[in-house]
A = this chain, B = another copy of it.
């Protein structure tokens, strides 16, 4: 219930991978897919969608690939997740049951609680930049000394 859909996780991991290769030229989808164990064709779809967020951009052709638009310390997990929850999922709603058919028209005892949870979560997401994630990985010694 608190676990983001795989698509979101893939998106985050892909961007994480791009962050690790900042300023090293575009990274190929296939490389990202391999490094992060993401189904290739699915990742194509995801990354392509992410371009609309302005977080990543791409270049086609020979030395083509994806790259981060801004440096990793200026991109947060919140930026990504917020973008991905736009349009998407009619079930998603700010507070109560469902935007479309809340039987209580928002006057429901739970709504303030749902809102507070959402805010708490996004406050963490917003405070977590991809640079932070890179640093953490290195501090933990997982960076698989390339």
- Taken together, the copies of this chain in the complex come to 2
Chain B residue with the shortest CB-CB distance to A92: B3
Q: Do A117 and B124 touch across chains, with their CB atoms under 8 A apart? A: yes
Q: Do A109 and B134 touch across chains, with their CB atoms under 8 A apart? A: yes
CB distance from A126 to the nearest CB of B (A): 11
Report which of B6, B107, B118 forms a contact with A2, defined as CB distance below 8 A: B118
Q: Which residues of A contact B (CB under 8 A)?
A: 1-6, 8-9, 12-13, 16, 36-37, 77, 81, 85, 89, 91-93, 97, 103-104, 107-110, 112-114, 116-118, 120-121, 124-125, 128, 133-134, 136-137, 140, 142
15 A–B pairs (Cβ distance < 8 Å), ordered by A: A1-B5, A1-B85, A2-B118, A3-B114, A6-B97, A16-B110, A104-B142, A107-B142, A109-B134, A110-B133, A112-B136, A113-B125, A113-B128, A117-B120, A117-B124
